[in-house]
Structure 1
Amino acid sequence: MTATPAEPQGPLITRPPQTIHALRRAVAHITPASLPAFNSGLVEAAEEADERGSIGPIRRFVQQWAVHVEIERHPQQAARLHELEALTLNTDDRETARAAAAEAGRIYATACTALGLRTGGATR
């Protein structure tokens, strides 16, 4: 009998450059269901950038999706994050929710650090 291959230990894809086009390709590959959110977020960021006369909203958009890709390209890490997010939403126990949120925060912080981003505001 052949063994079922284990989940890959390494990332699904190499880390893409932090550009809109590279991130869109990465999202399409690893989380295609997220493409509508990516596209609508890009439109919103572009409109906000135009209104403010600043590239800040575009920069935040790129960083947000770079973090998303950094987490999702590691299947075990992404699965754990999704478990933690569900746990925080579905538990009535304050301590359990707090611990799950703290662990989720560490996953985000690790992704930010890997990307060379400050951990203060980068979110998914």
Structure 2
Amino acid sequence: MTAQPHGSEPIIPRPERTVGALRVALAQVAPYRIAEFEAQKDQAFDQAAEQGSVSPVQMFLLAWLRDIEIERHPATATRYRNAVHAAQVLDRDDPDWRPAMDEVSRILGEAMQAVRD
């Protein structure tokens, strides 16, 4: 069994590592991000062609697997959005800024570990 970000049960199964599967999953958990997904996909494929390497496409897929992993768990997604918001609006001298950044890092790390297992 793979590790999951804590906080909630997944609302959809983890998608396969394909553009089509990621698009379908994203449409279910965060449809407002489809345009961002498509723009990054185009950029990754352009970079892959320019570089003669599949690395940009692999990184694109992994980043979106991670983001969808977070969104599959509603409580985790809420914690993540709250932490990102706090990190963006708080001054770095605010004592709540570091815990917010730590939460962002922790959630991203847990999600990345889950999709790499």
TM above 0.5:
yes
The aligned residue for residue 69 of structure 1 is 68
Asked which structure has the greater RCO (Cα within 8 Å, sep 6+), the reply is: 2
Q: Which protein is bigger by CA-based radius of gyration?
A: 1
The alpha carbon displacement at 1:107 in A equals 0.5
The aligned residue for residue 101 of structure 2 is 101
Partner deviation per Cα, 1:1-60 (whole Å, 9 max, x = no partner):
xxxxxxxx4211011111111001000111000000000100000000000000000000
Partner letter of residue 63 of structure 1? L
The aligned residue for residue 60 of structure 1 is 59
The alpha carbon displacement at 1:97 in A equals 1.2
The alpha carbon displacement at 1:94 in A equals 3.7
Aligned length: 109
The aligned residue for residue 30 of structure 2 is 31
The aligned residue for residue 6 of structure 1 is none
Question: Hey, what's the Cα distance between the residues in 2 that align with 1:116 and 1:39?
Answer: 23
Question: Hey, what's the Cα distance between the residues in 1 that align with 2:14 and 2:111?
Answer: 11
The aligned residue for residue 111 of structure 2 is 111
Q: Runs of at least 4 residues of structure 1 off by over 2 A?
A: 92-95
Question: Hey, what's the Cα distance between the residues in 2 that align with 1:109 and 1:84?
Answer: 14
Question: Hey, what's the Cα distance between the residues in 2 that align with 1:88 and 1:21?
Answer: 32
Q: State the superposition RMSD in angstroms.
A: 1.2
Gaps of 5+ in 1: 1-8, 118-124
Matched position secondary structure for 2:9: coil
The aligned residue for residue 41 of structure 2 is 42
TM-score (norm 2): 0.89
The aligned residue for residue 90 of structure 1 is 89
